[in-house]
Amino acid sequence: MTKKIIAISTAGMIAAFAAPAMAQDAKPFDGPYVAAMGGWDRPRANVPIGEPVGKSGVLFGGVVGYDKNINGAVLGVEGEYSDSTAKKTLDNLIVPGDSARLKTGRDLYAGVRIGGEVVPGFMLYAKGGYTNAEFKGSYDNGVNLFSGKDKLEGYRLGAGVETNVSGLLARLEYRYSSYGHYEDTGVKPRRSQIAAMVGYRF
């Protein structure tokens, strides 16, 4: 009986000393993660004549990803689904009393990022990848209502800061997306976003 008690006590002491050591040896910013996202969205379109058309809204969505810490350099891949409340209504475009409405839809993103821990627990990073965004439009001239949607492809670039504490992560980043130049209309769609994310790293 005494031997069993000594064995259990020894095992407990070993576990108590091993747990902090394992925590210290664990690499920061390494492994898979999930996070919820919210923030500010500002889609805009440069037009051939007049001021750019745009309207701000609330950004919301989620992100999943995986990072690998290689000797202090963090390389990662991530995917994101987001949407926005941004919309714009224009009146009296062609005839008195008519109106056109533009609204953002879902936005899919897949990309990579690279960063490094600048101070303990905080990482600076840059990111880039492919984005596919949906935009919805409608026009009402008082007699007929026309509506439709289009999916625009482009690229996204961004940078931010992230912190991890006991598996919980928090991130703040700026992102810029461009959806090309449509020569038939001269329109250049783009958007700027500030996103905050809170999640968990496994």
* pLDDT 10s digits, 36-56: 999 999 988 765 444 555 678
Give burial (CB, 10 Å; 0-12/13-18/19+) of 152: middle
Give all strands (DSSP E) within the chain, no chain letters: 31-46, 53-54, 57-70, 73-84, 87-91, 99-119, 122-140, 145-165, 168-178, 188-201
Judge whether 187 and 46 are in contact, CB under 8 Å.
yes
Question: What pLDDT does 47 receive?
Answer: 54
Q: Strands 188-201 and 53-54, how do they pair?
A: unpaired
Domain 27-201, second-level architecture: Beta Barrel (2.40)
* pLDDT 10s digits, 107-146: 999 999 999 999 999 999 999 999 999 987 666 766 666 6
Query: Residue 171 above 70 pLDDT?
Result: yes
For the chain, give the percent of residues with pLDDT over 70: 69
25-29, 77-81, 103-107: least confident range: 25-29
DSSP-assigned beta bridge partners for residue 118? none
Question: What pLDDT does 154 receive?
Answer: 94
Question: What pLDDT does 133 receive?
Answer: 92
How many Å apart are CA 175 and CA 157, to the nearest integer?
6
More confidently predicted of 20 and 111: 111
* pLDDT 10s digits, 113-124: 999 999 999 999
Q: How confident is the model at residue 184 (pLDDT cuts 50, 70, 90)?
A: low
Judge whether 117 and 28 are in contact, CB under 8 Å.
yes
